[in-house]
Amino acid sequence: MIPGVQIVGIVFAIVMMYFTFVYYKRKNYGLYSLIVWMALWLGILLIISIPETVYGLMQTLQIERTADFIVMSGFTFFLIIIFYMYNIIKRVNTKMEELVRKLSFQEQEKKKK
């Protein structure tokens, strides 16, 4: 019998796949993003429904429980995402600053004419 936590995990992955597809259809992002996120949710779905698939990797990493493996993988994934977001925000900030400055110069030039 499938334990409750597995059911929750499976439902979570399916719901996330649904939202990923809906946002793709709404053109929030392109095909590349759809494939990356779908691969992630499918990976989670696979690990939760058939934990045996990662036993080999868990043994190599000396992790005993599948739950620990999921938590650790999730944490690593979040750190990567935070780092990625930090870089994006920095870049957007710089671009916004340059844009705002450029606009203020242009506005002044218009007034002069």
Q: Decide: is 68 part of the binding site for another protein (CB under 8 A).
A: no
| Residue showing tokens 């036993």 | 55
Q: Are residues 79 and 73 in contact, defined by beta-carbon separation less than 8 angstroms?
A: no
Contact between 39 and another protein by CB under 8 A: the answer reads: no
User: For the chain, how many residues are written?
Assistant: 113
Under rule CB under 8 A, residue 107 binds another protein: yes
Q: Measured from the CB of residue 80, what is the shortest distance to another protein in angstroms?
A: 23
Count of beta carbons in the 10 Å neighbourhood of residue 46: 13
**Smallest separation (angstroms) from another protein to the CB of 113:** 14
Using CB under 8 A as the binding rule, whether residue 104 contacts another protein is answered as: yes
Residue 72 makes CB contacts below 8 A (sequence gap 6+) with 63
108: contact with another protein by CB under 8 A: yes
| CA-to-CA dists, residue 39 to 35, 43, 79, angstroms | 6, 6, 19
From 15-23, 55-63, 75-83, 95-103, span contacting another protein (CB under 8 A): 95-103
> With CB under 8 A, what is the number of residues at the site for another protein?
10
Binding residues vs another protein (CB under 8 A):
93, 96-97, 100-101, 103-105, 107-108
